[in-house]
Structure 1
Amino acid sequence: MADIRPKTVIYTASGKWESGMLVNSAAGSFTDILTDMPESSGGTDMGPRPLDYILTSLIGCAGGTLSVLAKRSGFEYTGFTGEAQGILDLGGFLGVPGVSKHFTSVSAIFIVETDESKERVKEICSLVEEKCPVLNLLADAGVKLEIEWKIADLEGA
């Protein structure tokens, strides 16, 4: 019988302020993960904004979740790409009452290269949305999510 007890994984990160808005962080064995802001916002534009990492994390997590679920279910695919956009009302950061301080909405388009049937693609994509930790973190924070899945047109490539 399969072990269905919860398994806890601990993630760690550290960071050090360099100057202005530039922070140099590390996560796991990866170092020199820079976050900054554009010059127009008082930064030096030496790295992505922190919220940019949320969007790239969503794409990476969806792709990783797809990989795990595809392997478990025998779903065959040859590629995955994603694009995401988040909308932030700066009023929350500036102290306007009732305005969220995080993304109010995130939209993403994920494209899967596969010869699987549309029904199988729909099933696996639904499972990815159900299981993806970053997507669920955003949903649990009350972020409005618009997720679209497409099958790549391999003939037009």
Structure 2
Amino acid sequence: MAENIFNGVNVDALVQTIEAVKKDPQIGEFKFRVRNTWQDGTLNRATVKGFYGAKEEHPDRAGRLEYDIDEPPVLMGNDRGPNPVEYLLVGLSGCVTTSLVAHAAARGIKLNSVASELEGDIDLRGFMDIDPNVPVGYKEIRITFAIDADATRDQIEELAEFAKNHSPVAGTIMNATPVTVKVKKA
């Protein structure tokens, strides 16, 4: 039997996964992990290796995935990689796009192209502890999609909003997920 591939998504496998999670919610519980090591100055290297999901450990993901994280010179770095808040935008862009593509496929909406631009506003006075009234982090993030699809403008706009509201990264940002810190001996 031929696979039902739509927008590059295996819709049959997507529906099977949804049904499996409905029957056994533990299948949908995942833990993703990143290890970060300071290199020098403002340079860090993050390594993504394994994760837990679908009730089992997945120890290796096509080898080691490494990401250099740095700051631009104006923020005391050497531009050897995107800075952390740029990586947040990268993660958000990928997650919202993936959500949009998967939900379009599930709805039978053919996508011809999807591109997005993200922009966020940060006031460094919060990070630098200069003004306690200035929040640390983004004050606002704007996503602008350019979507060519075999759908009406209303359907495309509803799909983009739905994707934002069902993106785990957008949900993490919008719902102020708690972050805990502990220190262990090096």
TM-score band, normalised by shorter chain? 0.7 to 0.9
Matched, 1:21 2:42: yes
2:70 corresponding residue in structure 1: 36
1:121 corresponding residue in structure 2: 156
- Determine which of 83, 87, 94 is the counterpart of 2:117: 83
Q: How many residues align?
A: 141
After the TM superposition, which residues 1-157 of structure 1 pair with which residues of structure 2 at under 5 Å, given as runs? 2=19, 3-4=21-22, 5=25, 7-28=28-49, 29=61, 30-95=64-129, 96-141=131-176
Letter in 1 for 2:98: G
CA deviations over 1:41-94 (Å, ceiling 9, x no partner):
211110111100111111111110012111211111011101111111111112
TM-score where L is the length of structure 2? 0.70
The alpha-carbon deviation at position 120 of structure 1 amounts to 2.0
Letter in 1 for 2:118: A
Q: 1:130 to 1:41 in 2, by over 3 A?
A: closer
2:184 corresponding residue in structure 1: none
CA deviations over 1:3-55 (Å, ceiling 9, x no partner):
52362111010111111110111123343301001122211110111100111
* Separation in 2, partners of 1:115, 1:50: 36
* Separation in 1, partners of 2:31, 2:154: 35
Uncovered stretches (5+) of structure 2, i.e. residues with no partner:
1-18, 50-60, 178-186
Letter in 1 for 2:172: L
Structure with max Cα Rg: 2
Root-mean-square deviation over aligned CA pairs? 1.8
CA deviations over 1:75-118 (Å, ceiling 9, x no partner):
11011101111111111112121221110111110111112112
Letter in 2 for 1:41: L
Letter in 1 for 2:31: I
